[in-house]
């Protein structure tokens, strides 16, 4: 709100997130919405903090683990909340070097790209088969 009591539409247009989804963010700001982290919102919605207490290990996923992941995407939010539990990430690909995994407390990253030379992003059946294999491999390492 401006000093006159009216919404400062020009200022809202400059607000981070206003251009999201073709301007839907701007419309939401005009209607009085507040911006929150999507990852944090959904972790709260799913009562992650309570549920993690019964977990020995945490497994999270992402399409691509990269610099943006460190900036607040779901795996980074999960890592912040997981405490000292070992954390594994499953992703389509990872552009984050192994020496940077510790920034998210990742103990291991499994990628579909490690399991095939084909483009799994365009082949749901291949993705499903690779994820099943990764799940089995994770299970084997935990036994």
Model pLDDT for residues 7-18, shown as the tens digit of each residue: 666 776 766 666
Residue 51 has which token pair? 């549920």
Cross-strand partners of 91: 62, 111
pLDDT digits (tens, 9 = 90+) for 36-74: 778 888 999 999 999 999 999 999 999 999 988 888 788
Q: Are 105 and 46 members of one domain?
A: yes
Q: How confident is the model at residue 31 (pLDDT cuts 50, 70, 90)?
A: confident
Q: How confident is the model at residue 32 (pLDDT cuts 50, 70, 90)?
A: confident
The pLDDT value given to residue 9: 67
Q: Are 67 and 18 members of one domain?
A: no
Burial of 34 (0-12, 13-18, 19+ CB in 10 A): exposed
Q: Are 119 and 51 members of one domain?
A: yes
Helical spans, DSSP H, in the chain: 9-14, 20-30, 38-45, 48-51, 67-70, 74-82, 112-115, 124-142
- Domain span at 92: 38-142
Residue 1, pLDDT above cutoff 50:
no
Q: How far apart are CA 114 and CA 89, in angstroms?
A: 13
Q: How far apart are CA 63 and CA 40, in angstroms?
A: 18
Residue 1 has which token pair? 């709100």
The pLDDT value given to residue 2: 46
Q: Are 73 and 95 members of one domain?
A: yes
| Total of domains in the chain | 2
Q: Are 88 and 130 members of one domain?
A: yes
Residue 6, pLDDT above cutoff 70:
no
pLDDT digits (tens, 9 = 90+) for 65-120: 998 888 878 898 998 899 888 999 999 999 999 999 888 889 999 999 999 999 99
Q: Are 12 and 65 members of one domain?
A: no
Q: Are 21 and 48 members of one domain?
A: no
Q: How far apart are CA 10 and CA 38, in angstroms?
A: 25
Q: Are 52 and 31 members of one domain?
A: no
**Which pTM does this prediction carry?**
0.75
Q: Are 85 and 115 members of one domain?
A: yes
């Amino acid at each position: 709100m401006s000093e006159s009591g009216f919404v400062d539409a020009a200022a809202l247009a400059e607000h981070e997130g206003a251009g999201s989804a073709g301007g839907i963010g701007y419309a939401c700001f005009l209607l009085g919405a507040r911006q929150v982290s999507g990852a944090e919102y959904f972790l709260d919605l799913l009562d992650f903090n309570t549920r993690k207490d019964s977990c020995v290990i945490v497994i999270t996923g992402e399409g691509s683990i990269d610099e943006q992941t460190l900036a607040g995407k779901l795996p980074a939010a999960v890592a912040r909340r997981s405490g000292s539990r070992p954390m594994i990430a499953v992703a389509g690909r990872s552009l984050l070097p192994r020496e940077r995994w510790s920034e998210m407390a990742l103990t291991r990253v499994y990628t579909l790209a490690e399991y095939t030379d084909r483009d799994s992003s365009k082949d749901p059946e291949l993705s499903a088969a690779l994820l099943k294999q990764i799940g089995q491999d994770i299970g084997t390492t935990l036994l």
